Each structure stands twice: as C-alpha cells, then as structure tokens.
C-alpha cells in the first residue's frame, strides 16, 4: 500500500492523518439557503463546503444552477463563514470565472472522460476533485487523473460516487472496495460520496460509516436545510440534524480506525 500524497486546500489538508468532511447543498439556490447550510455544516464539523453553481443535468427541462448569481453568493458565503469551497466545473470557459472564487474544482462523473477539460484544469494548478464516472473502470479513472498530473497539476483528489449496474433499487452501486484497491495502485487521496452513491437519504449514514471503516480519506455529503424543498437531488440530501448525528457516529468509527476527524480549521 502506497503512502498517500496529501493535498492542501487553504488550512485543510486532505489525504493526511486527518479525515475530512465536505458538505453542502447540491446546488446553491439562494443566499439564505447557502449561508444557512454553510453555518450548519461548519458547526457540525465539516471543513470544506460544497455547492453547485453551473449544473449539468440529464434533462434539459430541469433546473440548471444559478450561474453567475451563484458565483456571487459563493464568494460571499466563503468569506462570511470562512470555509474553502468545492464547486463543479462543467466547461473550460468557466475556469477563469471560478478560479479566484472557489478553492477546489470538482469534475463531475459525466465529465471524467472530458479530457479537454482536464487538460485545462491541469494548467490552473488548483486542487481538483475528480469523481469516478459511473461507467469508468478504476483503470480509466486513474488514467483521467494522469491527464491532470501529466499536465502539471499534482493536486488531485479521487472521489468514488457509485457505478451503474443492473440493480434498479438504488441510483448507483457504491463501490467501496475501490477505496482500498486504489490504495494499492495510487498515492492520490480518495474520498467517498454516499449521497450520489446511494441516492437515498436513509442510506447516507451507514455508508458514510462504512466508507470511513474501509479507509477513505474523507466524505462528500449533500446537506440541505430543507431537503424536501430542494431544487435538485432533494431525495438524497440530509438536513442539519441528520448531518450532526452522522458526524457524531462517524467520530466513533474514526476513533476505532485511529484516524481523527479534522475540525475547526
């Protein structure tokens, strides 16, 4: 097993001794929604904030993100709450807009094969959270990471978020064995997204604990103050109290595997 190479994001180190939790809404929907969520997840122990600005949706008739107004809200909340921000980039032309406003570029599952985008992100040198395509073999995922690394950007964080299988009951099949398996091949830090990985609110807690037990370096969790009112993916978002309960139980598992949770940066 290779030692992990850590990635620095402001005061946060991902891939080191500490376990890191990234939380926030699927999409930034309003100032109030993003601020409230940010405050809540920070209080419960999250140290990075997620929030979508430009969304990539399968159905052209659904909510596509706030766009530029979301960018303004992101800047404001980042400053007010003091957490670094992770946001998805869906097109190379968004890079100059995002580069100073956010801290980690997220490459979503459907863009993992978008090598032109990866080549551009390589030039920024900024941390990239590279989700596994739901159809990608582990080998293809690591080759996508190589597009970033060969292009000059070593700050890559892998994120397992479930793969597409024949099982219709859940949105995806979360491939947790990918976590220890990737360790045998790569030094990149690897985190898990149990929200997309299961697509069901009630499975996020047990799969978060399982990811920590399997050796992940962190989690990416969708939290919304009022999931039932969410404009996207509400069925897989948890609310503030559920997130606080998750963090309490997570710390017990982390203690059992001798891996402290990073808190209060």
Chain residues in the site for a second copy (CB under 8 A): 56-61, 90-93, 110-111, 113-117, 133-135, 137-140, 143, 146-147, 150, 163-170, 173-177, 179-181, 184, 197-198, 200, 202-203, 206-207, 209-215, 249, 252-253, 255-257
Least separation in angstroms between CB 217 and a second copy: 13
Who's near 247: CB < 8 A, 6+ residues apart?
A: 21, 44, 45, 46, 261
Residue number, 11 or 67, with CB nearest to a second copy: 67
Radius of gyration of the chain (CA): 17
Q: C-beta of 175: minimal distance to a second copy in Å?
A: 5
**CB nearer to a second copy: pick between 83 and 158:** 158
Of the pair 11, 241, the CB lying nearest a second copy is at: 241
Decide whether 49 or 250 has the Cβ nearer to a second copy: 250
Quote the Cα angle for 205-13-178, to 5°: 50
Count CA within 13 A, CB hemisphere, residue 30.
9
Smallest distance from a second copy to CB 190, Å: 12
Smallest gap, in angstroms, from Cβ of residue 84 to a second copy? Answer: 25
- Residue 107 near residue 131 (C-beta atoms within 8 A): yes
Please identify, using beta-carbon distances, which residue of 37 and 155 lies nearer to a second copy: 155
CB of 164 to a second copy, least distance (A): 5
């Amino acid at each position: 097993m290779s030692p992990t190479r850590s990635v620095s994001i402001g005061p946060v180190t991902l891939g080191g001794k500490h376990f890191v939790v990234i939380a926030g809404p699927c999409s930034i929907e309003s100032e109030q929604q993003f601020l409230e969520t940010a405050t809540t997840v920070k209080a419960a122990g999250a140290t990075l904030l997620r929030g979508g600005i430009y969304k990539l949706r399968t159905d052209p008739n659904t909510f596509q993100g706030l766009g530029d107004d979301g960018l303004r809200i992101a800047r404001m909340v980042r400053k007010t709450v003091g957490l670094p921000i992770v946001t998805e980039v869906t097109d190379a032309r968004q890079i100059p807009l995002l580069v100073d406003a956010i801290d980690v570029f997220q490459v979503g599952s459907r863009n993992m094969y978008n090598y032109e985008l990866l080549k551009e992100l390589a030039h920024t040198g900024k941390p990239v959270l590279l989700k596994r395509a739901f159809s990608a073999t582990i080998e293809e995922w690591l080759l996508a990471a190589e597009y970033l690394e060969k292009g000059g950007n070593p700050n890559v964080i892998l994120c397992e978020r479930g793969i597409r299988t024949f099982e219709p009951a859940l949105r995806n099949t979360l491939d947790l064995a990918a976590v220890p398996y990737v360790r045998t091949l790569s030094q990149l830090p690897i985190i898990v997204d149990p929200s997309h990985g299961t697509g069901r609110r009630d499975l996020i807690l047990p799969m978060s604990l399982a990811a920590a037990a399997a050796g992940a370096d962190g989690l990416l969790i969708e939290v919304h103050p009022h999931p039932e009112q969410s404009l996207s993916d509400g069925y897989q978002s948890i609310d503030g109290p559920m997130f606080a309960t998750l963090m309490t139980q997570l710390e017990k598992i982390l203690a059992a595997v001798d891996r402290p949770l990073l808190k209060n940066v």
